[in-house]
A and B are shown apart, each in its own frame.
Chain A
Amino acid sequence: MPEGSRGVTRAKDLYRDRFRRAKELKGEGRKILGYICLHAPLEMMTALQIIPFRMLGDIYETPTQVDRFLPRAFCPFVRSVFDLSLKGKYDFLDGMLLVHSCDAMERTGRIWESVVDHHYFHFMDLPTKVCGRHQKFFREGLDDFKKTLEELTGKELSFEELKKAIESHNEQRSMVRSLYEITEKVPPKISGSEILQVIGAITSIPVEEGNNLLREVLAEIRKRKSGNLKGPRILVWGSVLDHPAFVEMIEDLGAHVVIDDLCTGTRGYWADVKLDGDLLSSLAYYYLVELRCPRTFKEVPSDGKRKDYSADLEERFSYLREFTKTWKVDGAILQSVKYCDCHGFEVPQVKDYFNSFGIPSLLLEHNYMIADREVLKTRVEAFLEMLRGGVE
């Protein structure tokens, strides 16, 4: 990483070499735990001076070792992350937290725990539904997790440290939301692919370092001159995009990705953890109810007799309408890695929802790897042309 790099450049450098800073900190004696999904309660790790490190895949590395354990017709993202682990790329971690976010994660986690030697491995179950009883059950699971972290570190997780950690992570969430406020502008002063890289960077370093980086990035972006490139404004929805290549492909075709609904984008930053009352309950609420992911079952309460499909879609997806309005979205690209059941079942309903208020959408399924980008390009081009016909 070039010395003295700051702001967006430093973020991109950190993102490109995500392991480097983590390994430096490991060398200084810090403990680092890997996690994959958004539902991992980062604050609990931070409060015990453990660095939470989001494990990503690699769209350029062909999975090989993982073929011993997982079928090819399987979530390619999970295959990639597991493959990197089997190749020793994640050996610097002190352990892993695996949350039951979806089948791919849960089933692979069982195998992972059996074949990779971890000093620490914790499987955290996650309820499917979100009502009070489920939050309480999850809170009790967080208490179990707390005990394992205390066993790992030999320290007690205090209320004060947890409160401080929540405040730091909430500050991070607020600053990421500020990044997206900048993309409300026409044209935006920061690209969607840059935002993904910034988020990719901050999920590889301690929260305080991430917050310092975000301050630099925001200061820099706010000073940028607006470009005058007009182009279709796109919302990207769907499953994990842990590399900016997909978004870059859209932007290279002259569009602006101004907002997203991704777990590597807005989903982890759109609400804050409440600081009143029992903090573990607040974390349970945030990580089960506030996080938006199709793996969680939310349905509008019915009178037991009839379900109103439109009302159900509105209950589940109204934030997408808000996104569309606030970010002046012209079209939505619904992308999903192949074999993702949670997003795959969701796609026709999300499409129906966008149709209900006249936003065109394009569905793209891909196999995660870089080679797929070229195949998808033609379809994206045609979609953008269609939008341009409406925009100009």
Chain B
Amino acid sequence: MGGEEKKKYINRLKSFLPLRTKIDETYKKSIEAIQMGRPVAWAMINAWYGDPILRAMELETVYPENFGAICAAEGVAESYLNRADADGFPSHLCGYARNCFGYVSRMTKELKGEIPPEAPVGGMPKPIFLLSSNIGCDARYKWFQALGRYLDVPVWVLDMPIPGVKEFFRDGVYERCIQFIVEELKEFVHFLERTLGVKMDWDRLEKTVHDIEEMNRVWFEINELRKAIPCPMHSRDFWSAMPPSLFLAGKPAETLILYKKMWKEVKERVDHKVSSIQTEERFRLLFSELPPWHSLSVFENMAERGWNFVIESWSYHPPPPLDLSGISDPLEHIARFSFHFHTAYFKDALEEGEYYGYMGYPLLKFAREYRCDGAFFHLPLTCRSTSTHQLYLQEKMKQKLKIPSMIVSGDIVDLRLFNPAEVIKRMEIFEESMESYRKLREERF
């Protein structure tokens, strides 16, 4: 009687859930802060550039990009997108941004600044300022600048140098970039002190930075374990567990403990050869860029056929650990770590004659190291940042690594643009391609 629950083929970790709930806590804490008369900030994901400062200043922060993903997953984004269109924003702009414009437009024009009742996870309260950066894409600062139509709050932009791969190795470039980032951070601290009326607690910052580095080290090690065959942790668990690292959802000292628990669970799976899918691991796949948040159930269809998603794009992973033990200044720690996120693979990229040193080259490295049979490229229409390199990488993977890929168009927010049925239809043919290239690799390498 009633619908039987569909069988699940992805073997989820137990340890992902407490990490996943940190996102909800983030929104809950922001609402509580406002209710207690404390300020809240909105921030772009900033590769551990501004976030450590915000945490050390104990400023509750929410991330509109993440909110966009949640709105998409919960099925409420469409009304916000329509509203953004009606307000004159071109429909090709970042789906997360348009979702935010629609949300804020409703909040300020209709509800006098109150959170819309339909907003998921309690919504985002009005911020005291907006923290953006040029990391990732132009939209990251243009979006917050455009919010000036609705919100009378200042925008602070953290500028990150992004040298070319060759140029990075020219004399003096690295140290010059670090100095620049440190100065950016100093100015940001002064801005926060003025805006919040409190002084930075430098001891707290030092501890926060240490916890973030340690947390990311453990998270990096967890993902290293996924190189095992069969892979012990599916991409679905990765995406659920990434927010505490990616945008510091939760306190770093607490999430460090949770990541250590996850490491233990994943290590146990490796030791006992437990796979992250219930079926035989027939194919190991890399998933490129943002998943279709509104249609994640398609991964169950793929797991049913033995497709195990073992690694994701560079953008969401912490960089390899960096030895910063000789450095005492926490701002310099932040500068070196955040810059390292962008440049960690430049040396390898240059050696291979690849100039797409971040976003692009790391995918080749991951596909090789995680022994992937194929790659799934999700090409989101409204996110040029994550779609630009995909065709190029498709060609490179085939040429250099003999790994085939499939490209599926979709979007990060607009669920009308992604068709799970299309994916399912193409799976069988792609399996033939993966089998065929596997034989080729066995012969060649």
Report A's interface with B, CB cutoff 8 A: 67-71, 73-75, 100, 102-104, 106-111, 113-115, 121-125, 127-129, 133-134, 137, 140, 144, 147, 294-295, 297, 299, 302, 304-309, 312, 336, 338-339, 341-342, 344-349, 351-352, 363, 365
Within the assembled complex, what's the spacing in Å between the Cα atoms of A110 and B354? 8
Contact A137 B93 (CB under 8 A): no
B166 CB to nearest A CB, Å? 7
From residue 134 to 166 of chain B, which have CB atoms closer than 8 A to chain A? Answer: 134, 137-139, 141-143, 145-146, 148-149, 151-155, 157, 159, 161-166
B392 within 8 Å of A (CB atoms): yes
Q: Which chain A residues lie closer than 8 Å to B392 at the CB level?
A: 68-70, 111, 114-115
Q: List 15 A-B contacts (CB under 8 A).
A: A100-B162, A106-B162, A107-B388, A111-B356, A114-B356, A133-B180, A137-B176, A144-B167, A144-B173, A299-B145, A304-B194, A307-B151, A307-B154, A345-B93, A347-B89
Contact across chains for A129 and B360 when beta carbons are under 8 A apart: no
CB of B8, distance to nearest CB on chain A (Å): 33
Q: How many B residues, CB 8 Å from partner?
A: 62
Provide the bound-state CA to CA distance between A111 and B195, in Å: 42
B162 interface neighbour in A102, A114, A125, A305, Cβ under 8 Å: A125
Flag if B384 contacts A73 (CB, 8 Å).
yes
Q: Are A123 and B388 in contact (CB under 8 A)?
A: no
Contacts of B379 on A, CB cut-off 8 Å? Answer: 71, 73
Q: Are A345 and B142 in contact (CB under 8 A)?
A: yes
Q: Which residues of A contact B272 (CB under 8 A)?
A: none
User: Is there contact, CB below 8 Å, between A341 and B173?
Assistant: no
Q: Which of B197-252 contact A (CB under 8 A)?
A: none
The contact of B88 among A147, A302, A347, by CB within 8 Å, is A347
Contacts of B391 in A (CB 8 A): 67-71
**Complex contact B141–A338 (CB within 8 A):** no
Q: How far is the CA of A349 from the CA of B88 in the complex (A)?
A: 10
In whole angstroms, what is the CA distance A147 to B167 when docked?
Answer: 11
Contact A103 B138 (CB under 8 A): yes
Given the complex, which residues of B lie within 8 Å of A341, measured CB to CB? 93-94, 137-139, 142, 384
- Encode B73-94 as 1/0 by CB contact (under 8 A) with A: 0000000000000011110111
Out of B94, B163, B184, which one reaches A125, CB within 8 Å?
B163
Q: Is B353 an interface residue (CB 8 A)?
A: yes
Known: A123-B163, A304-B154, A342-B142. A348 touches B384 (CB 8 A): no
17 new A-B pairs (CB below 8 Å) besides A123-B166, A127-B159?
A68-B391, A69-B392, A71-B390, A73-B92, A75-B384, A102-B138, A110-B389, A114-B392, A123-B164, A125-B161, A128-B134, A128-B141, A128-B159, A133-B184, A137-B176, A307-B153, A351-B88
**How many angstroms from the CA of A351 to the CA of B88 in the assembled complex?**
9
Other-chain contact of B385, A103, A133, A144, A309 (Cβ < 8 Å): A103
**Which of A128, A144, A342 interacts with B157 by CB under 8 Å?**
A128
Residues on B with beta carbons closer than 8 Å to the beta carbon of A125: 161-164, 167
> Shortest Cβ distance from B211 into chain A, in angstroms?
28
The residue in chain A whose Cβ has the minimal distance to the Cβ of B157 is A297
**With A345-B142, A347-B90, A352-B149 in contact, do A74 and B384 touch (Cβ < 8 Å)?**
yes
- Distance between Cα atoms of A100 and B94 in the complex (Å): 20
Asked if residues B87 and A113 are in contact (CB atoms below 8 Å), the reply is no
Determine whether B369 belongs to the interface, using a CB cutoff of 8 Å to chain A. Answer: no
Closest 4 CB pairs of A and B: A123-B164, A345-B142, A110-B356, A302-B154
B93 nearest CB neighbor, chain A only: A344
